[in-house]
Amino acid sequence: MRMAPTPTALAAFEEAKGFMPLDEGLALHAAAEHAAAELGGLPLLEVGTYCGRSTILLADAARAAGTSVVTVDHHRGSEEQQPGWEYHDASLVDPEVGRMDTLPAFRRTLHRAGLEEHVIAVVGRSPRIAALWHAPLALVFVDGGHTDEHATADYEGWTPHLAEGGLLVIHDVFPDPADGGQAPYRIYRRALESGEFTEVSVTRSLRVLRRTGVRR
Ligand SMILES: C[S@@+](CC[C@H](N)C(=O)[O-])C[C@H]1O[C@@H](n2cnc3c(N)ncnc32)[C@H](O)[C@@H]1O
């Protein structure tokens, strides 16, 4: 039976800084819950922690299935979050270092949500972490850098670890360039064209794909 996030998790999600609207968040939660339950408690992997908004929902689903979320971020912000860019938040700059640091906000968010013990935060560049990774995953959520370089590296680095039947979730998929950048859309197309994935659901810019085919 599908469950909604707990009221505490939902309240923490709505309070957290971040870029995930509620309807997409609920679709992410449903995918996470399904993948964790179906795949015998394999871990869930997120690229793009930021301040932990989407991590809360993944962690809530992981807790219900007795598994963990691994969330990856260098915590220095994406290109569009740097000073002078559209999504910059000056309150997230470390005054001593003079650079973005979303790790303290992320830790506070998870603590408030009571979900710390269900999350393993890995601080570093996604492709370097993926290169060291060996465990099978129930779900891969791609919401890191939105340039072609980063999105492609995330796709190539993490999808090989997705178990058969596991879910690939991609955020900010915009078929029309007028709605947003095209890099997430291109990896979404690439996944479908590979023959290894079939589409499960579409919730605005959030796409859920199931890994059904064998790797070529
Ligand atoms: C769009 S935000 C993630 C939003 C978050 N999922 C939410 O729900 O609010 C993208 C994040 O990806 C991180 N990021 C970008 N490129 C990265 C890379 N190559 N490796 C690790 N993290 C990266 C940035 O630091 C930023 O925090």
CB 38 within 8 A of CB 95: no
Q: Would 150 be classed as within a structural domain?
A: yes
* pLDDT of amino acid 1: 55
How far is residue 40's CA from residue 138's CA, in Å, rounded to a whole number? 8
Task: State yes or no: is 146 an active-site residue.
Answer: yes
Tell me, in angstroms, the distance from the centre of ligand 1 to residue 150's CA.
10
Give residue-wise pLDDT tens across range 119-155: 999 999 999 999 999 999 999 999 999 999 999 999 9
The range of the structural domain enclosing residue 151 comes to 7-211
Evaluate whether residue 154 is within a structural domain: yes
pLDDT in tens, 157-216: 999 999 999 999 999 999 999 999 999 999 999 999 999 999 999 999 999 999 997 664
- Strand ranges inside 74-136, DSSP E: 93-94, 99-100, 119-123
Check: CB of residue 146 under 8 Å from CB of residue 154: no
**Residue nearest ligand 1's atom 15 by CA:** 145
Q: Is 18:53 a contact under the CB 8 Å cutoff? A: yes
Q: What is the mean pLDDT of residues 94-115?
A: 96
* Interval 63-104: pLDDT, tens: 999 999 999 999 999 988 988 898 999 999 999 999 999 999
Q: How far is the CA of 53 from the centre of ligand 1 (A)?
A: 11
Residue 1 lies in a domain: no
Q: Residue 42: pLDDT above 60?
A: yes
Q: Which residues line ligand 1 at a C-beta cut-off of 6 Å?
A: 18-20, 48, 50, 53-54, 72-78, 102, 125-126, 143-145, 150
Average pLDDT on 106-130 reads: 97
Q: Are 175 and 185 in contact (CB under 8 A)?
A: yes
Identify the CATH number of the domain in which residue 140 sits: 3.40.50.150
Structural domain count, the chain? 1
Confidence band of 58 (pLDDT split at 50, 70, 90):
very high
Give me the residues paired with residue 211 across strands.
197
